[in-house]
Structure 1
Amino acid sequence: MAAPLKAEFHFDFGSPNAYLAELALPDIERRTGVKFDYVPVLLGGVYKATGNLSPGESLRGIRNKPEYNALETERFLRRHNITQYRMNPFFPVNTLMLMRGAVAAQFEGLFEPYFRAAYHHMWAEPKKMDDPQVFRDAFLSSGLDIDRIIARAQQDDVKKKLIDNTSNAVARGSFGSPTFYVGDEIFFGKDRLREVEEEIIAQLDARQRKTA
């Protein structure tokens, strides 16, 4: 029996576009029946390895482009009925602690509640999540055993896994977040979700024809 089709969402909590894109993934999963693997990467590491800049840096000083970017974000929010989004006033936030926490939460079987809480405290009710006390208080308010995750995040296997995820993503062609893979096909940005879904359907159809 063939392995299920692999669809991946590579994310860093520091990317507002990754947050917005993720909110649209459940609908794609419902329509296609394919579940995404959530892969934590360190966006700072991706940028460093590829020589890329964050949108905030690359748009600085360019006339009209930041305004157009904001317009596209508004359109995306309307299209996907997203109401829980506020720009984090502390942006950019250093996400090393958050992303190690994501890997630790995966290892501890706590990923789903950790992921939801992290995004909530970054982009729905934004806080300075690179402040250790703010970080701990925020997750406690969401009912997580955050001390267990903090302790796990300091273990070498967690640190190594985040580094490996990041370097593997770059080796496969990644240069930012959100990045999606459908099999070996790469897509970048929240504005490519339609193509991501089309590629999932195309690959599913190709598999069906092979087995027919």
Structure 2
Amino acid sequence: MDSIEFFFDCSSPWTYLAFSRIHSVAEEAEVEIIWKPVIVGGVFNEVNQEIYEIRANPNKLKFNYSRKDLQDWADLCGISIRWPSIFPVNAVKMMRAAIIANDQGKLVPYAWECFKSYWERDEDVSNDDILKKILISSGLRGEEILKSTKKQDIKDRLKNNTSELIKRGGFGSPTIFINKEDMFFGNDRIELIRYKLSKL
């Protein structure tokens, strides 16, 4: 069966947009989505450090346009995005929990709740109490999973996903592969992915 690998970090607004759209694309093409939680900060540290310089010294015109562009996309996707008061946020524990949620077949509802918490409600998703509420809202055992995020196996699996993305040429979130080979980066590549899938 053909597949899409979706490497993602819920602390990225462009990933929220892509996540909201990738499901229908996969359904239309009848392909499987393989979810790959990562830490985008780890990717930046290895292969995309210039992002930090851009954040520290933004071009005002590009910055203003980027915020407008983000809202236009949010309107198109039918989701609400407001810039969080804490950005960037420490997403490590949230994305470790995503590994566990995926194991338990709850990745999609969990990711939705994470995106909404951070990008719609401006909640601090690094906070244990907030994460516990997200987990419970997703049909997961909040306290149990929070404890499990401290296990070395879970830590290693998130690191391995992040390292895998870097080794395969990725430099940010979301990064999507069709059948493990054809790489696409960013929400604005979803239509191109749709086209490529139609040719399989």
State the TM-score, normalizing by the size of structure 2: 0.89
2:115 corresponds to 1:119:
yes
Matched ranges for 1:60-209 at <5 A: 60-80=57-77, 82-140=78-136, 144-183=140-179, 184-202=181-199, 204=200
2:5 corresponds to 1:8:
yes
Identity, % of aligned pairs? 28
Q: 1:57 and 1:94, CA in 2 relative to 1: closer, same or farther beyond 3 A?
A: farther
Q: Cα distance, 1:92 vs. partner?
A: 1.2
Q: Cα distance, 1:196 vs. partner?
A: 1.2
Q: Cα distance, 1:116 vs. partner?
A: 2.3
Q: Cα distance, 1:163 vs. partner?
A: 0.8
Contact kept in structure 2, 1:113 and 1:144, CA below 8 Å? no
Q: Cα distance, 1:114 vs. partner?
A: 2.1
State the TM-score, normalizing by the size of structure 1: 0.84
3-state DSSP of counterpart to 1:88: coil
Contact kept in structure 2, 1:52 and 1:175, CA below 8 Å? no
Q: 1:195 and 1:52, CA in 2 relative to 1: closer, same or farther beyond 3 A?
A: farther
User: Could you tell me which amino acid in structure 2 is paired with residue 145 of structure 1?
Assistant: R
How far apart in 1 are the matches of 2:109 and 2:24? 19
How far apart in 2 are the matches of 1:35 and 1:18? 18
How far apart in 1 are the matches of 2:174 and 2:137? 27
User: Could you tell me which amino acid in structure 2 is paired with residue 111 of structure 1?
Assistant: L
Cα root mean square deviation, aligned: 2.0
How far apart in 2 are the matches of 1:30 and 1:141? 25
Contact kept in structure 2, 1:87 and 1:126, CA below 8 Å? yes
Q: Which runs of 5+ in 2 are unaligned?
A: none
Q: 1:8 and 1:143, CA in 2 relative to 1: closer, same or farther beyond 3 A?
A: closer
Q: Which runs of 5+ in 1 are unaligned?
A: 205-212
| 1:41 aligned residue | 38
Q: 1:65 and 1:155, CA in 2 relative to 1: closer, same or farther beyond 3 A?
A: same
User: Could you tell me which amino acid in structure 2 is paired with residue 49 of structure 1?
Assistant: E
